[in-house]
Chains A and B, each alone.
Chain A
Amino acid sequence: MTVPPNRPRTGLAERIGAARAEGRSALIAYLPVGYPDVPTSIEAMVAAVEGGADVVEIGVPYSDPGMDGPTIQEAVDVAVRAGTGMADVLAAVAAVADAGAVPVVMSYWNPIERYGVERFATDLAAAGGAGAITPDLIPDEAGEWISASDAAGLDRVFLVAPSSTDTRLAATVQACRGFVYAASTMGVTGTRATVGDTAQVLVDRTRGVGSDVPVCVGLGVSDGDQAAEVAAFADGVIVGSAYVRQLLDGHGAEGVRRLSEDLAAGVRRR
C-alpha cells in the first residue's frame, strides 16, 4: 500500500495530558491487526475510538508472543497464519489517526527489526503514528530504536514491572517518551477479577523517579469498574484482552464499541 506522507500527528503525552486536563484518565485500547481479518480488525479499532478510546495500541501479530495470554494468542495466531504484515499495520495506523485517536504500534521486536528499524520509524511517522510500544525490547538493547525514533520524532514506550529495581525504573522512565507502560501484575496479558494494589505501588514508584512522563497501567483490566479503580491513580488505563474477547466471542465492532463506552465511563468516574 502507499501511505499518504506526513499526516498530522499528535503525541501520546499530549493526548494523555488533555485527558488529565479534563480531570480523568486516558483510555488506551489494544487490538491486533488481522483478526478476524484486516478490514474487520480496522473497523473494530475505529469502533473502539468511536466508543471513547483516546489511544489505540495497534498490535503487530507475532508468531511467538511470549508476554501474551491465551486470549490474545488465539487472535494473533489467526492473523499470523493469514500473513498479516507491516503494510496492514500502517493502514490501521492511518485509519485510527483519521478516526481521531492517537495510534501507537505495539510490537514484539523481531517484526520491527525484520522490516528495518529506520524504515519502520519513517513509515510509521508518515502514516500518522505516534510511536511504538515494545514489550520485549528493554532500553539496554534499544540503541538503534532510540536513534530511529528520535530522528522520526516518534514516541517510544518501554515497560516497567513490579520486579524492576529502582535503578532500572529510573533508567527506563528516562528512555520513555509518550508514556511509561506499567505492567501491573507479574504475568501475561489476560483479564483478571481484581487488578490488585501492586499496580498502585508500581505507579507510585514510577512517579517517584521524578519524571513527568505519564504512567499508564496495563494487564488485567476488563470492565468499567476496574477501569475506574485504576483511573484513580494512573494517567491512562490500558485494556487489551477484554477487547479481543469481544471479537473472539463474535460481538464484532459493535461489541468493541460497547466495551469502549463502558470503559470510557469508567475512566471518568470520580
Chain B
Amino acid sequence: MTTTAPVPPPDASLLRPRPEWPDATGHFGRFGGRFVPEALIAALDDLTEAYEAMRVDPVFLAEFERLHRDYTGRPSPITEVPRFAEHCGGARVLLKREDLNHTGSHKINNVLGQALLTQRIGKKRVIAETGAGQHGVATATAAALLGLECVVYMGEEDTRRQALNVARMRLLGAEVVPVTTGSRTLKDAINEAFRDWVTNVGTTNYVFGTVAGPHPFPAMVRDFQRVIGDEARAQVLQREGRLPDAVLACVGGGSNAIGIFTAFVPDADVRLVGLEAGGDGVETGRHASSITGGEPGVLHGARSYLLQDANGQTVESHSISAGLDYPGVGPEHSYLNDIGRAEYRPVTDSQAMEAFALLCRTEGIIPAIESAHALAGAVELGRELGPDALLLVNLSGRGDKDVETASAWFGLGRDTAPTDGDERAVEAGRGGDPGAPLGDAGTTTVQDGDAL
C-alpha cells in the first residue's frame, strides 16, 4: 500500500468553471427544478442569491478552505490497494479516502459550506435529514462548531440500524427526531424536515445532505462536494501522469458521486460509473436503484428518476445500506445518465458485503457499506477492463457505524444478541453461520458470495 504526499489544497474549488448545467432555474435538461409549496420559494430564492454571492467572496473562500484543511483534514489522500486489486481482474485500484475526513465521510464537505451560509444569512437554527446518520453527524458537528441550534430528522427504522450515529449526534448537542410516518426511513425524514422548514423558515435553514431536492440544493451541494474530484484529479495526474480509465462511486442521492465526477466530466475518455444499491436484485423489486429500475417523476422538490408505482406513489426502497436506501436520486445523475456521460449499475447487498469484507481483509480498511457498493463495482469493472486499467474509487465513508450490521451479516460475534437494526442483515445474510476463510484471487468471485 502506498499513499501519496499531500498535494496543496486545491484552492478555490468553488471558483472553477462549473458544468453548463443546471440552467438559471435549476434544470438539468428535463430534470431538477422546484416542485415545492409556494411558501418555500422565497427562502429558496434567498438561499440561491446568498450562495451565489458567497461563493465568490474571498473572505468566505478563505474560511471554507481553512476549515477544510485544519478541521476536516483535507486534502484526503489517495491510497493504492494492490491486494484488493488482485480480485479486480488485475486492474489497478486507487481509493480517494473521504473516509479519513473528520466525522468519517464526505458529508462534512457540504455541511461546512451550508453552515457558513446559514451564518451569512443570519439564521441561528439548522435542520437536516439523515439516513445512515453520516449527514446528521456532519451537520451536528458543524452546528456545534459554529454555535447553531441543530435538529436532525431520522427515520425510526434508521435510528435503530444506526444507533451509534444517533448517540454521536446527541453527544454533539443536536436533537434527533425519530420519524414514524410512512416507511420510517430517509424519504420520510426528508418530508418531515420540509414540514419543519415551511413552518420555521423565518429562523431556520435547511442543510440538505445530497444533490437532490429543489434548486439550488443540487447545484450548491455539488459545488461544495466537487473538492473531492478536483483533488483526486490532480493527485492521480501527479502520481500517475495520466487520468484514470474510470471513476466509480456509490449513488443514493448521489452527493459523493457528483463530488468526484464533476472534475472529470470534461474528460471524455474517463468513464464515470455510479453504483446504485441493488438490494436483493433489481429484478426482485426490492432495491434502491432509481436510475436502473425507476422512471422519471417528481419527489422531494425535483424531477428525477424515482421508484414509483402506477399511481405515482413512491415505492419503498430496499438496501442493506441505510445511506443508499432512498427511492430517488439527484437530478444531475438522471441527466448525466440520459446524455450518456455517466453510466449507472446496480450492486446487490451480497456483492457489496463481499467487497466490504474483501477490503477489510486485504487492505485493513473497513469501508462504509455505502462505499462498498463502489468497491464491488470496481471488482466487476476491473474484470471487464483487464490489467491495464486504472480505476479511481471514491471511498466515501468509513465503516465504524456498520460494524453491527456487518457482524450480523457475516455471523460474527454470535455471543451477543443482534439489535433490531441487524434484522435485514440476518435475514439476507448468513445469520448465525460463521464465514469460511477468505479465498485467494483465483477462486473469489463477487457473484457467488464466496469471498468469506
Q: Which residues of A contact B191 (CB under 8 A)?
A: 64-66
Q: Which residues of B contact A147 (CB under 8 A)?
A: none
Most buried by A among B42, B202, B300: B42
CB pair B201–A111 under 8 Å, yes or no, is: no
- B187 CB–A CB distance under 8 Å: yes
CB pair B35–A141 under 8 Å, yes or no, is: yes
CB pair A161–B39 under 8 Å, yes or no, is: yes
CB pair A168–B308 under 8 Å, yes or no, is: no
- A160 CB–B CB distance under 8 Å: yes
Cα-based distance from A136 to B297 in the complex (angstroms) = 13
Cα-based distance from A66 to B190 in the complex (angstroms) = 9
- B34 CB–A CB distance under 8 Å: yes
Cα-based distance from A172 to B312 in the complex (angstroms) = 26
CB pair B297–A110 under 8 Å, yes or no, is: yes
B-binding segment of A44-52, A76-84, A262-270: A76-84
B:303-321 near A, CB below 8 Å = 308, 310-314
CB pair B312–A183 under 8 Å, yes or no, is: no
Cα-based distance from A163 to B200 in the complex (angstroms) = 12
CB pair A188–B41 under 8 Å, yes or no, is: no
| Count of chain A residues near B, Cβ 8 A | 43
Contact with B along A32-61 (1 / 0, CB 8 A): 000000000000000000000000000001
Q: Which residues of A contact B37 (CB under 8 A)?
A: 66-67, 135-136, 159, 161, 183
Known: A63-B313, A67-B198, A73-B181. A114 touches B308 (CB 8 A): yes
Cα-based distance from A69 to B187 in the complex (angstroms) = 16
CB pair B312–A111 under 8 Å, yes or no, is: yes
- B413 CB–A CB distance under 8 Å: no
CB pair A111–B42 under 8 Å, yes or no, is: no
Most buried by B among A115, A137, A141: A141
Cα-based distance from A188 to B36 in the complex (angstroms) = 12
- B298 CB–A CB distance under 8 Å: yes
CB pair A168–B312 under 8 Å, yes or no, is: no
Q: Which residues of A contact B188 (CB under 8 A)?
A: 64
CB pair B41–A86 under 8 Å, yes or no, is: no
- B254 CB–A CB distance under 8 Å: no
- B367 CB–A CB distance under 8 Å: no
CB A30 to nearest CB in B, in angstroms, measures 15
Known: A64-B182, A64-B191, A135-B37. A164 touches B42 (CB 8 A): yes
Contact with B along A108-120 (1 / 0, CB 8 A): 0111111100000
CB pair B39–A162 under 8 Å, yes or no, is: yes
Contact with A along B193-224 (1 / 0, CB 8 A): 01100110110000000000000000000000
Known: A62-B312, A62-B313, A111-B312. A141 touches B41 (CB 8 A): no
Q: Which residues of B contact A140 (CB under 8 A)?
A: 25, 34
- A179 CB–B CB distance under 8 Å: no
- A186 CB–B CB distance under 8 Å: yes
CB B201 to nearest CB in A, in angstroms, measures 6
For the complex of A and B, the 10 pairs showing the least CB-CB separation, nearest first, are A114-B312, A161-B39, A111-B312, A187-B199, A163-B42, A63-B313, A85-B311, A110-B312, A110-B298, A63-B314
Could you tell me which A residues sit within 8 Å of B by CB distance? 61-67, 69-70, 73, 77, 80, 83-86, 109-115, 135-138, 140-141, 158-165, 168, 172, 183, 186-188
